[in-house]
Amino acid sequence: MNGKVISNSCIRRLPRYYRFLGELKSKGVLRISSGEFAKKTGLTASQIRQDLNCFGDFGQQGYGYNIELLHGEIGKILGLSTPKKVILIGVGNLGKAVAQHINFESMGYQLVGIFDKKESLAGQIIRGLPVRNVSGLDEFCREVNPTVAILCIPKDAAAITVNQLTGLSVKAFWNFSHYDIKVHNPDVIVENMHFGDSLMTLSYRLNNQD
Amino acid sequence: MNGKVISNSCIRRLPRYYRFLGELKSKGVLRISSGEFAKKTGLTASQIRQDLNCFGDFGQQGYGYNIELLHGEIGKILGLSTPKKVILIGVGNLGKAVAQHINFESMGYQLVGIFDKKESLAGQIIRGLPVRNVSGLDEFCREVNPTVAILCIPKDAAAITVNQLTGLSVKAFWNFSHYDIKVHNPDVIVENMHFGDSLMTLSYRLNNQD
């Protein structure tokens, strides 16, 4: 990447590019100009060119982008072909929805373990995996070495669990809890799914329409 | 707001401020310096001062911020005290989790209707509301006038539903589907909860650690 610093916003747009190109690819479309690409994603052509230029020279003057090639390249940049072992903690409605709803495999993730503290859930099968009691988390991580944990648990439980897991093999969290992991663990990789923050942002926009 | 343009990133930080201040308030803390505030949120003091200055003059030299006051003010800016009627469409695991898990009331939302296309779900009670068949969506919207719709349905269904709802009273969407509403409806207010995009961003970060 030529030592360039890639902006956060650019990184966040890559999955969108990847999704769009994947759809076009599945429809058998072979190439797309940056103008059409922009129209379909609601961005500007120069934004897209600028983003993609951070990672390499993908377009061709007068031809546009080769969809299959660019889709593959963005997939590589996103690390989707690198297998990552994931555990999910907390099997309420949300945890269950995440376990069943997400196509982990297509993004290079492999769900290897599901945990809950409720004894009554132990052994229940979700997506082909038995729910395990969190008491076995340490041993499981030492054996299986998952690198990602999905937290679908309340804030206080999340604080304890993050402490426990960062001492083991886990390097990254997909965080649905309200616990601000980064504040206490600045070196850990975190993606937050803050439902409440998103809903408050929506409220702001509704309240501040022109 | 003195006609200032508020940046997207600033708007996205407001809910985080609101949450933190709410926690401090519930612990009985009366005031906080921008330095402490920064430490607790993982931001810089100047960032926080700059963000808050967009909306008014809240801090006091040598005293810091009055927590209860600032919490209330940010709540007002976010429009949390303005009642907004919401409908939820799609009662799979995800829709159910959203209906049960989100504290709508604390953010000024009122869940008024839950819809699904499955006949077998009709009449089931979720959060005190009966699941209605989507065939009654038009009539319901004309009677109740919800302004926000939560979409927990697949992409193709979302495209049709957005078209239908924008012709009725709905002005904003909390979108869990993969349908890019903004591309086809630039004037509509949208907050996306793209699970896949978030997971791909996490993959990128894992793949591009220093």
Tell which residue, B194, A23, A109, has the closest CA to residue A99: A109
Q: Which residue has the higher pLDDT, A5 or B190?
A: B190
- Give the up-direction half-sphere exposure of residue A71: CA atoms within 13 A in the CB hemisphere: 18
Residue A1 is predicted with a pLDDT of: 47
CATH architecture of A84-197: 3-Layer(aba) Sandwich (3.40)
* In the predicted structure, residue B2 carries a pLDDT above the cut 90: no
pLDDT digits (tens, 9 = 90+) for B119-170: 999 999 999 999 999 999 999 999 999 999 999 999 999 999 999 999 999 9
pLDDT band at A82 (very low <50, low <70, confident <90, very high): confident
Domain ranges of chain A: 8-77, 84-197
By C-alpha distance, the chain B residue nearest A85 is B203
By C-alpha distance, the chain B residue nearest A91 is B97
Same fold flag, A8-77 and A84-197: no
CATH number of A8-77: 1.10.10.10
Residue B3 is predicted with a pLDDT of: 56
Dihedral, CA of residue A102, residue A108, residue A110 and residue A115, to nearest 10: -60
Residue B139 is predicted with a pLDDT of: 97
Please state, in angstroms and rounded to a whole number, the distance separating the CA atoms of residues A102 and B202: 14
Please state, in angstroms and rounded to a whole number, the distance separating the CA atoms of residues B101 and A84: 28
By C-alpha distance, the chain B residue nearest A107 is B200
Task: State the count of interchain CB pairs (< 8 A) between A and B.
Answer: 183
Distance from CA of A156 to the nearest CA of B (A): 13
Residue A4 is predicted with a pLDDT of: 67
pLDDT band at A210 (very low <50, low <70, confident <90, very high): low
pLDDT digits (tens, 9 = 90+) for B80-127: 988 999 999 999 888 998 998 888 998 999 999 999 999 999 999 999
Most confident of A38-47, A59-68, A80-89, B52-61: A80-89
Name chain A contacts of B197, Cβ cutoff 8 Å: 12, 15-16, 19
Prediction ipTM score: 0.92
Name chain B contacts of A155, Cβ cutoff 8 Å: none
* In the predicted structure, residue B57 carries a pLDDT above the cut 90: no
Give the gyration radius of chain A's Cα atoms: 20
How much is the pTM? 0.86
Q: Tell me if A170 sits within 8 A of A88, measured CB to CB.
A: no
Please state, in angstroms and rounded to a whole number, the distance separating the CA atoms of residues A17 and A13: 6
Do A197 and B15 count as a contact with CB atoms less than 8 A apart? yes
